[in-house]
DNA sequence: TTAATATTGTTGACGCGTCAAGCATATTTC
DNA sequence: GAAATATGCTTGACGCGTCAACAATATTAA
């Protein structure tokens, strides 16, 4: 052969980290989901939306939710529909943008969030964080942030027009070209 | 209130690590899946099975696969059926255990594995490992291993009777009680 | 203004994997 | 050995979220 193509390989440790990453994620989210369902009749994906809504002060636009939890628009529509049927949130249209829909936590939604939050946090500590030192934690979050930033490099998050915490937010100078995931 | 229950909280950094973990996983696996489909018409889940089979020398029992990739028995049955229909593997029954089925890589399967492996490794390096130093990598794999070990603490992997690399394997003294996920 | 284009959210069709029931074979207990 | 129990794999029914098409609204270009 005149020229061997790159032929990349993973070192022992690299392979272990990658496989570990996949397994760890599946096992932990699976278990967390089960615990959340058992204690609060809530899927992890559903709880995550309640969580993001709560952190945002109680409401958020559909597209923003989709971006936050890494889901398709259609997926968010369906989960929100479920949560609405359960009485945990309501839809409200956005006055400044006729296309926009806000998901808004109801009182029941806030209550559910609180109840599930306790279970969730306990589970995260027990299954994810246990025995992890501060300096390791720093490495981890830096690592994850890098991955997220990298895969989202060319994206720009969606607008969240007329959000609660909107402090006369102006559109950033739009970046060079377009999104093109 | 006479006694406030534990009321657990996550620190800023703990929360960031957890959310980062979830997002990073979703974004990276999603992208890797897309690249694998585009280049080799293979889902990431399908490739992972080819990968584990290849690493095992070409064959493995269904239950063992399920354990390795964190999937239900039913799930493995279906993915293996797909791969079989595509011609990448064959089923073979296990002589020592009438219930057991081996998935066995065909030549086409080996070839497909090689082709997809190159793309996969490149993607893992680019999306997952890039800019990660050796000592960070050590922290990461130790962390993931801990999580996996923890959630699998009370389990015992399935038998892999009459596997290729089976060195007169004896059943471990069975642990105290049972599994009970 | 008008037309072309982009964005937001919803929906039907679908792919994927889980769940639980079922069948076959193994293992244990009597 | 026979019965009871456990394990391995498959299958129908189903839940979940994606995809692509669509309607409605916004934005940009002419």
Mean pLDDT by 10 residues, chain A (181 residues): 65 94 96 95 98 97 97 98 98 95 98 97 96 95 93 68 48 27 23
Whole-number Å distance between alpha carbons of B1 and A112: 21
If one compares B178 and A139, the residue with the highest pLDDT of the two is A139
What value does the mean pLDDT take over residues B99-105?
97
Which DSSP state fits A41?
Answer: S
The partner residues of B27 in beta bridges, in order of sequence, read none
Partner residue opposite A147 with nearest CB, options B18, B128, B147: B128
Side-chain-side CA neighbours of B43 within 13 Å: the count stands at: 8
Q: At what angle do helices B12-40 and B44-55 cross, to 10 degrees?
A: 80
| Residues shown for chain B | 181
Whole-number Å distance between alpha carbons of A107 and A115: 12
Nearest to A157 by CA among A69, A50, A31: A69
What value does the mean pLDDT take over residues B100-120?
97
Residue B4's CB: how many other CB atoms inside 10 A? Answer: 6
Is any Cβ of chain A less than 8 angstroms from the Cβ of B7? Answer: yes
Write the CB contacts of A90 (distance below 8 Å, at least 6 apart in sequence). A84, A103, A104, A106
| Residues shown for chain A | 181
Write the CB contacts of B5 (distance below 8 Å, at least 6 apart in sequence). A118
Integer-rounded Cα Rg, in Å, for chain B is 20
Is any Cβ of chain A less than 8 angstroms from the Cβ of B125? Answer: yes
Residue B128's CB: how many other CB atoms inside 10 A? Answer: 25
Phi, psi (5° rounding) for residue B42? -135, 130
Q: Would the CB atoms of B21 and A130 count as touching at under 8 Å?
A: no
**Secondary structure of residue A28 in the 3-state scheme:** helix
Whole-number Å distance between alpha carbons of B150 and A24: 10
Side-chain-side CA neighbours of B65 within 13 Å: the count stands at: 28
Write the CB contacts of B147 (distance below 8 Å, at least 6 apart in sequence). A20, A24, A27, A28, A127, A128
Cα dist. B152→A31, A140, B11, B165, B181 in Å?
A: 11, 22, 26, 24, 9
Whole-number Å distance between alpha carbons of B109 and B112: 5
| pLDDT tens-digit series, residues B65-80 | 999 999 999 999 999 9
Is any Cβ of chain A less than 8 angstroms from the Cβ of B34? Answer: no
User: Which nucleotide shows the minimum CA-to-C1' distance to residue A45?
Assistant: D16
CB-contacted nucleotides of strand C (7 Å):
7-12, 16-21, 24-27
Q: Is the pLDDT of residue B140 over 60?
A: yes
Starting at the edge strand that comes first in sequence, how are the strands of the sheet with B101-105 ordered? B59-61, B101-105, B89-93
| pLDDT tens-digit series, residues B26-57 | 999 999 999 999 999 999 999 999 999 999 99
Mean pLDDT over the full length of chain B: 86
Write the CB contacts of B45 (distance below 8 Å, at least 6 apart in sequence). B69, B71, B79
Q: Which residue is nearest to nucleotide C24 (CA to C1')?
A: B99
| pLDDT tens-digit series, residues B144-158 | 999 999 888 766 666
If one compares B163 and A95, the residue with the highest pLDDT of the two is A95
Whole-number Å distance between alpha carbons of B72 and B67: 8
Nearest to A144 by CA among A155, A152, A134: A152
Both tokens assigned to B46 = 């399908």
Q: Would the CB atoms of A16 and B145 count as touching at under 8 Å?
A: yes
Which residues of A, range 88-117, sit inside 8 Å of B by Cβ? none
Q: Is the pLDDT of residue B14 over 50?
A: yes
**Secondary structure of residue A10 in the 3-state scheme:** coil
Nearest to B120 by CA among B21, B24, B39, B22: B39
Is any Cβ of chain A less than 8 angstroms from the Cβ of B164? Answer: no
CA-nearest residue of chain A to B16?
A141
């Amino acid at each position: 052969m005149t020229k061997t193509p790159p032929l990349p390989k993973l070192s022992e440790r690299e392979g272990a980290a990658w496989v570990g990453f996949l397994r760890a994620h599946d096992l932990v989210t699976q278990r967390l989901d089960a615990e959340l369902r058992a204690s609060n009749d809530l899927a992890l994906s559903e709880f995550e939306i309640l969580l993001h809504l709560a952190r945002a002060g109680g409401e958020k636009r559909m597209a923003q939710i989709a971006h936050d939890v890494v889901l398709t628009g259609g997926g968010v529509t369906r989960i929100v529909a479920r949560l609405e049927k359960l009485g945990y949130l309501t839809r409200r249209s956005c006055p400044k943008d006729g296309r926009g829909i806000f998901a808004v936590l109801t009182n029941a939604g806030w209550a559910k969030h609180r109840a599930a939050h306790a279970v969730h946090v306990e589970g995260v500590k027990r299954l994810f964080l246990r025995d992890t030192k501060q300096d390791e934690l720093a490495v981890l979050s830096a690592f994850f942030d890098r991955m997220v930033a990298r895969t989202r490099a060319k994206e720009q998050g969606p607008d969240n027009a007329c959000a609660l915490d909107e402090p006369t937010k102006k559109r950033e100078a739009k970046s060079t070209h377009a999104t093109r995931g």
